């Protein structure tokens, strides 16, 4: 029998000059026409948390039941998906596995659900291969402002073969959803609905055919909501065995952002971090997009047509046509030369107080296009419990560097001018069992002294997120510390970081403890080029592109004079720059290093020449 051995997958090399990290999983691609989007949903309440593998690379850790991952940008084509009990060996038998064919520009949801159950006898049924995967082709196409989109999937084995989603009275919104059958979508007005799961096979009677009452569900605008119906199974309590099949359904709802039109579209995510305000309604162009938004609530990115919009914040229940209902605040989003390429925004509601006065004043003084109306500036308004600021922040959700993730910090903590993020140590290397060689165990990293390793520096109150790159792995603790202090306001623990994912932390609350400061984390997969860090290169002569920043490194290709390429960063001394280009021989996106001399490459950002030594340090694989 072959020996089990360990192969180091992730190597973290710390030195005074640079940090080197591994490459990203081969299946997680840079965004483009030959990619699609894939997310995974754990619909296994009777089994528990799972790890998810795509083409033998783990992309989700400890995914809890009724939770979904972010959409991963994946190379179009065939992929192997496998799901295992959280924390088990990567070579153990899966709960379920499947081959997935992802079309270019497609968007799919893989729902992991249970198909085998115990009969209540002593023998039971093992968890291995007790599940299956149902693939949903998500319709994330643009939708009219003020509408929401719903769909459903019926995976509840042991319940009626056809169900409906509708009102407790028996009236259906989505009618006759077949077991393990695809179902279309319905667009509805944005509002709250009181819904139930109905037996579509029941004979007509005086009693509503209610199987499960779902209560009130509040739908936000321009969002796709998917109802997932599974058996209401509880774990068996016996390690490795599944529970007994239930005749009752268990339904949960997951949401997804809809895309804006390709031309002249915009996406806005609403985050309510102002603890002193009452519950609010949010309107765009006097159309309700989010009702009954409370402190700590947030929306998906709302994809909308057109770029310019009027944004109004109202008290919950106030109507636009009520002359006695005065809006709390009103602002506008308008296109200018400076933001003409910006697509993603956060609409942030945050408390303001005297300690934030300077920050608010500085934000309000940001110069705008003199030919455009005042727009995109923060607005401070009074509530019964003090001042609140509505700020519109530009979001950078661009591709991460290969093999890395990105952390973003938005400072919404009352009275805190700037916040930095620290970790005590980079993650321990992940190990994977292979055959034949037993390696030397990796040394345990020495924890850094307080406050630790800086991940994000000085996120200013109410401004665009401050960002930093970080290697993948399990972060036992990330501390959010006011600049100049040593004690943390709050911490995030046991964060499993996946390459390519952008983690946005919104630090909210009051240092006084009412309410306590906490960090809300949102996850998005990076796609598209950064607007803040996009550098262009023009070759001034024929240039050799090499595999490493050395004249002795292997030659990838020689590109001709006048070739335009993307510049990703520099090496330690700035004598070489990392570039990305389309290889004319293969037609594929390729990266390499070129000598950073003025007679070889001219580097610009937004038309302005940039010195190689001022580029960001490239720390990718």
What single-letter DSSP state applies at residue 360? H
pLDDT score for 164: 96
* CA angle (171, 174, 175) in 5-degree steps: 75
Question: Does residue 292 fall inside a structural domain?
Answer: yes
Question: Does residue 444 fall inside a structural domain?
Answer: no
Q: Does one domain contain both 167 and 55?
A: yes
pLDDT score for 548: 93
Residue closest to 307 by CA, chosen among 289, 272, 332: 332
Q: Does one domain contain both 106 and 163?
A: yes
Q: Which residues contact 123 (CB under 8 A, 6 or more apart)?
A: none
State the virtual CA torsion across 205, 211, 214, 215 in degrees, nearest 10: 40
Q: How many domains does the chain have?
A: 4
Q: Does one domain contain both 158 and 274?
A: no
Last residue of a domain, one of 525, 559, 575: 525
- The pair phi, psi for residue 475, each rounded to 5°, is -95, 110
Last residue of a domain, one of 211, 226, 257: 257
Domain CATH number, residue 599: 2.30.30.40
Question: Does residue 180 fall inside a structural domain?
Answer: yes
Question: Does residue 442 fall inside a structural domain?
Answer: no
pLDDT score for 17: 24
pLDDT digits (tens, 9 = 90+) for 278-331: 799 999 999 999 999 999 999 999 999 887 889 999 999 999 989 888 899 888
What SS3 state is found at 430?
A: coil
Question: Does residue 446 fall inside a structural domain?
Answer: no
Q: Does one domain contain both 363 and 487?
A: no
Q: Could you tell me what percent of the chain has a pLDDT over 90?
A: 53
- Residues 469-479: what's their mean pLDDT? 92
- Residues 516-543: what's their mean pLDDT? 86
pLDDT digits (tens, 9 = 90+) for 199-235: 998 877 767 799 999 999 999 999 999 999 999 988 8
Q: Does one domain contain both 56 and 172?
A: yes
Q: Does one domain contain both 244 and 269?
A: no
What single-letter DSSP state applies at residue 242? -
442-445: long-range contacts at Cβ-Cβ below 8 A with a sequence spacing of 24 or more?
Answer: 442/8, 445/12, 445/14
Q: Does one domain contain both 145 and 227?
A: yes
What SS3 state is found at 604?
A: strand
pLDDT score for 339: 66
Q: Could you tell me what percent of the chain has a pLDDT over 70?
A: 83
Two structure tokens written together for 201: 């096979």
pLDDT score for 406: 93
Residue 24 and residue 73 in contact, taking contact as beta carbons nearer than 8 Å: no
Tokens 């109202």 correspond to: 314
pLDDT score for 373: 39
Q: Of the ranges 15-24, 551-560, 581-590, which one carries the lowest mean pLDDT score?
A: 15-24
Last residue of a domain, one of 237, 257, 277: 257
- Asked whether residue 104 carries a pLDDT value surpassing 50, the answer given is yes
- Asked whether residue 196 carries a pLDDT value surpassing 90, the answer given is yes
Q: Of the ranges 279-288, 350-359, 382-391, which one carries the lowest mean pLDDT score?
A: 350-359
Radius of gyration of the chain (CA): 26
Q: Does one domain contain both 195 and 80?
A: yes
Task: Look at phi and psi of residue 415 and say left if phi exceeds 0, alpha if psi is from -120 to 50, else beta.
Answer: left
Question: Does residue 437 fall inside a structural domain?
Answer: no
Residue closest to 395 by CA, chosen among 341, 438, 444, 355: 341
- The pair phi, psi for residue 418, each rounded to 5°, is -150, 145
Q: Of the ranges 131-145, 148-162, 529-543, which one carries the lowest mean pLDDT score?
A: 529-543
Two structure tokens written together for 470: 């970080």
Q: What share of residues in the chain are helix, strand, coil (percent, to 5)?
A: 0, 50, 50
pLDDT score for 360: 56
Question: Does residue 591 fall inside a structural domain?
Answer: yes
Task: Look at phi and psi of residue 476 and say left if phi exceeds 0, alpha if psi is from -120 to 50, else beta.
Answer: alpha
Q: Does one domain contain both 234 and 351?
A: no
Q: Does one domain contain both 372 and 422?
A: no
- Asked whether residue 41 carries a pLDDT value surpassing 90, the answer given is yes
Question: Does residue 443 fall inside a structural domain?
Answer: no
- Asked whether residue 443 carries a pLDDT value surpassing 70, the answer given is no
Task: List the domain range (segments joined by +) for residue 237.
Answer: 35-257
Q: Does one domain contain both 283 and 378?
A: yes
pLDDT score for 61: 94
């Amino acid at each position: 029998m072959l020996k089990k051995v360990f192969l180091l997958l992730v190597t973290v090399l710390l030195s005074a000059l640079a940090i080197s990290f591994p490459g990203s999983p081969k299946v997680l691609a840079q965004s483009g026409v030959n990619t699609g989007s894939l997310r995974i949903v754990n619909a296994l309440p009777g089994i528990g948390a799972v790890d998810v593998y795509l083409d033998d690379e783990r992309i989700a850790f400890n995914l809890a039941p009724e939770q979904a991952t972010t959409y991963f940008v994946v190379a179009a084509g065939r992929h192997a998906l496998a799901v295992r009990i959280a924390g088990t060996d990567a070579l153990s038998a899966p709960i379920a596995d499947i081959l997935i064919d992802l079309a270019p520009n497609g968007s799919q949801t893989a729902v992991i659900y249970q198909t085998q159950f115990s009969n209540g006898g002593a023998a039971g049924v093992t968890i291995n291969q007790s599940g299956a995967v149902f693939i949903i082709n998500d319709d994330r196409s643009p939708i009219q402002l003020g509408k929401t989109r719903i769909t459903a999937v019926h995976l509840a084995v042991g319940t009626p073969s056809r169900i409906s989603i509708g009102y407790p009275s028996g009236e259906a919104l989505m009618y006759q959803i077949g077991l393990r059958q695809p179902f279309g979508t319905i667009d509805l007005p944005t509002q709250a609905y009181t819904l139930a799961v109905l037996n579509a096979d029941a004979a007509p009677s005086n009693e509503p055919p209610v199987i499960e009452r779902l209560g009130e569900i509040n739908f936000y605008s321009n969002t796709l909501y998917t109802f997932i119906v599974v058996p209401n199974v509880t774990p068996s309590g016996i390690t490795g065995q599944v529970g007994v099949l239930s005749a009752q359904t268990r339904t949960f709802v997951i949401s997804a952002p809809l895309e804006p039109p390709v031309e002249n579209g915009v996406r806005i995510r609403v985050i309510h971090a102002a603890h002193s305000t009452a519950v609010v309604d949010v309107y765009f162009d006097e159309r309700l997009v989010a009702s009954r938004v409370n402190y700590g609530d947030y929306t998906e990115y709302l994809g909308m047509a057109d770029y310019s919009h009027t944004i109004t914040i109202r008290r919950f229940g106030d109507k636009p046509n009520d002359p006695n209902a005065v809006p709390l605040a009103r602002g506008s989003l308008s296109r200018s030369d400076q933001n003409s390429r910006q697509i993603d925004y956060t609409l942030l509601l945050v408390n303001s107080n005297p300690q934030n006065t300077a920050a608010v004043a500085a934000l309000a003084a940001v110069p705008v296009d003199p030919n455009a109306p005042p727009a995109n500036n923060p607005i401070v308004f009074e509530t019964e419990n003090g001042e609140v600021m509505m700020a519109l922040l530009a979001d950078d959700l661009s591709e991460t560097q290969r093999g890395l993730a990105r952390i973003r910090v938005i400072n919404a903590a009352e009275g805190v001018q700037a916040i930095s993020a620290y970790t005590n140590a980079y993650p321990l290397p992940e190990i994977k069992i292979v055959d034949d060689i037993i390696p030397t165990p990796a040394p345990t990293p020495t924890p850094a002294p307080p406050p630790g390793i800086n991940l994000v520096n000085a996120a200013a109150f109410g401004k665009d997120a401050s960002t930093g790159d970080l290697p993948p792995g399990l972060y036992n603790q990330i501390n959010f510390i006011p600049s100049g202090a040593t004690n943390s306001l709050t911490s995030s623990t046991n964060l499993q970081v996946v390459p390519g994912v952008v983690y946005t932390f919104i630090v909210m609350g009051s240092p006084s403890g009412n309410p306590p400061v906490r960090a809300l984390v949102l996850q998005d997969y990076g796609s598209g080029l950064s607007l803040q860090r996009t550098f262009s290169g023009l070759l001034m002569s024929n240039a050799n592109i090499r595999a490493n920043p050395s004249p002795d490194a292997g030659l990838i290709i020689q590109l001709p004079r006048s070739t335009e390429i993307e510049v990703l960063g520099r090496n330690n001394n700035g004598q070489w720059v990392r570039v990305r280009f389309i290889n004319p021989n293969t037609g594929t996106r390729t990266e390499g290093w070129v000598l950073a001399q003025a007679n070889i490459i001219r580097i610009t950002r937004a038309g302005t020449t940039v010195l190689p030594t001022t580029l960001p340090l490239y720390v990718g694989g």
